[in-house]
Structure 1
Amino acid sequence: MPVTTLGEAARAVLLTADPHDKRRAARAFARAWRQGALAHRCDVAMPDQPAWPDRPELLSPAHMPRRRKGGSERGRIAMLHALAHIEFVAIDLAVDLVGRFGGEFPRGFVDDWIGVAADEAMHFALLDRRLRALGSHYGALPAHAGLWEAAAATADDALARLAIVPMVLEARGLDVTPAMIERFRGVGDAASAKILERIYRDEVRHVSAGTRWFGWMCDERGFNAVETWQSLVKSRFRGQLKPPFNDSARHNAGLTQEYYAVIAS
């Protein structure tokens, strides 16, 4: 049966388990939308949990191996593998956002978040290719089991999803990625640093999209954006907002200090 709607196409991506098939499906999803092949209808239920491969083994944060500091190849592989897993799950986060909530927004929202899904698929491909160049691959090491928790905790409300996933989790990437880039550069791994630079530039755009559409929905509902975001973070985010913050990158993405400075630990 042909896939003809946004919701059907999103569900198909989410139910694709193989990482490389999923990234290809995400890119094809974006292409089909841009070519006008999908109706703007979110008419099917999204799965509570996406399909994922048997490897990597998923562990709770308490049982994750401690990554070694320094510039050894083993340490760099572990860091790249962790980043590849984040990008793999990020494909599903973006696709689920479209398929679950896209009907509540104008077409521009779908344009933005399908573009994010395609970016995440490309990021995953770049990181896995780099892992293979270093003699490893995605799935070779254990990975964090909790990355989907934010999606499960915000499956009922688009505003909560935008508050937590792009405006907390992706924004954290803006804080920590520059130091990782310098770490790779410092040990002469220019190839890995270049990939992270590309991811960092795209993350600014992703956080910007999240902040912009969060503000749009707050306006639609008659809410104060800053106060609503702070309330949602306190009630829906299990962790803490911890400095240091990359204030300039966050500001460029529209996520100004008035949002997070007051509630940061």
Structure 2
Amino acid sequence: MARKGHRPSQAAPSRPRFYGRHAVTAALANPERHVRKIWGTREALAAFDLPSSIPVTFADVADLARLVPNDAPHQGLVAEVDPLEDVWLGDLLLQGKDDQRPLLVLDQVTDPHNVGAILRSAAAFDALGIVTQDRHAPPESGALARAASGTLETVPWVRVVNLARALDEIAEAGFWRIGLSGHATQTLGQAIGDARVALVLGAEGEGMRQNTEAHCDELARLPISPKVESLNVSNAAAVALYAIAARG
């Protein structure tokens, strides 16, 4: 998936280390991803036909464990990679102008496991991509790539400086912006309609910021049981994406 543009206001990001079969295999399969180096057990590396341009180091399980966070399930594979180049929001909106694929907008969702799980759901339900605020979203990392189970390489991820301005641009592209909120009076099913939908989700606990809510066309809630106060944001995203996919 091509990712164009750079973030001139920021220093160059450090190189993340991906671990686990899905994350490493997907990184190797992505022509836009530059894999700098791979460490692995002989057994795990035997499954790959690696190009000679990638330095490979054979290592045992204990050595690999020192390359990743504590207790990270590396499955015998670790890869050092360059972060993907940025995607411009305008390019993504133009790419999806002739279809009904939903867009996901995340307001200060900072947990890499949640963002990774949301990427996986976005891929499962064929979302156009996700949009986050650059300073309030996690960087690419091994934990995020593992939670995404390979979909970090396939789902476009737009990082913007100003989320409110991005929501204005999304509206101009013809999307109906629905913010998920527990205090909304209508359910998501009542709010969806037939328009192209941009789902806006806030951080677990705090929810969307007030200014983000103000840039939504409607607020809606998931019809969950009163036995549960709320859903994890990644679970909420999956349920909402299913509702959009099933509306037809």
TM-score, normalised relative to structure 2: 0.29
Q: Which has the higher strand share?
A: 2
Q: Which has the higher helix share?
A: 1
User: Which is higher, the Rg of structure 1 or of structure 2?
Assistant: 2
